[in-house]
Chain A
């Protein structure tokens, strides 16, 4: 069950990134670009989550997961503050 949740998290974040970046290519709206990039980094984060908790349970990638979360949300926040507002 845990594996299913982690895989679904990864798949849904990839789907969000693809849909948002496709919408950005169509409309060129900056907000969609930053949201898409944010979810692309979240997708990396969710792959790391699966690797950390399922594939290598003995290892600890929690710092890398936190850093990617910070990077993803930071990209969106940068866009919201400097480019969109």
Chain B
């Protein structure tokens, strides 16, 4: 019960972060924030799937859910790489 409650809080926090980054993207038109927003939304989706579908999955299939999390982290890395590349281009 406590874990389900905390999982809900985590998902809410991820989605709130995603909305903040979406706002920053709309204000600044900076692609970095769009990537961050998408990544945090994906982490929220991952959290939802782990809580709802996760308990029914066996150990061999459970890792598929974590691929979503990995994609979110790769998006962040891609966003940082993209930002650094853009920074070098303007110098």
* A-to-B contact residues, CB < 8 Å: 1-2, 5-6, 8-9, 12-13, 15-16, 19-20, 23, 35, 39, 42, 49, 53, 57, 62-63, 66-67, 69-70, 73-74, 76-77, 80, 84-85
Contacts and interface: CB of A to CB of B under 8 A. Distances in A.
A80 B6 contact: no
Interface of B: 2-3, 6-7, 9-10, 13-14, 16-17, 20, 36, 43, 47, 59-60, 62-63, 66-67, 69-70, 73-74, 76-77, 80
Given A66-B7, A80-B17, A85-B20, A57 B77 contact: no
A9 to B, nearest CB: 5
Q: Tell me if A's interface is mostly helix, strand, loop or mixed.
A: helix
Contacts of A8: 70
A70 B62 contact: no
B14 A73 contact: yes
A70 B79 CA distance: 23
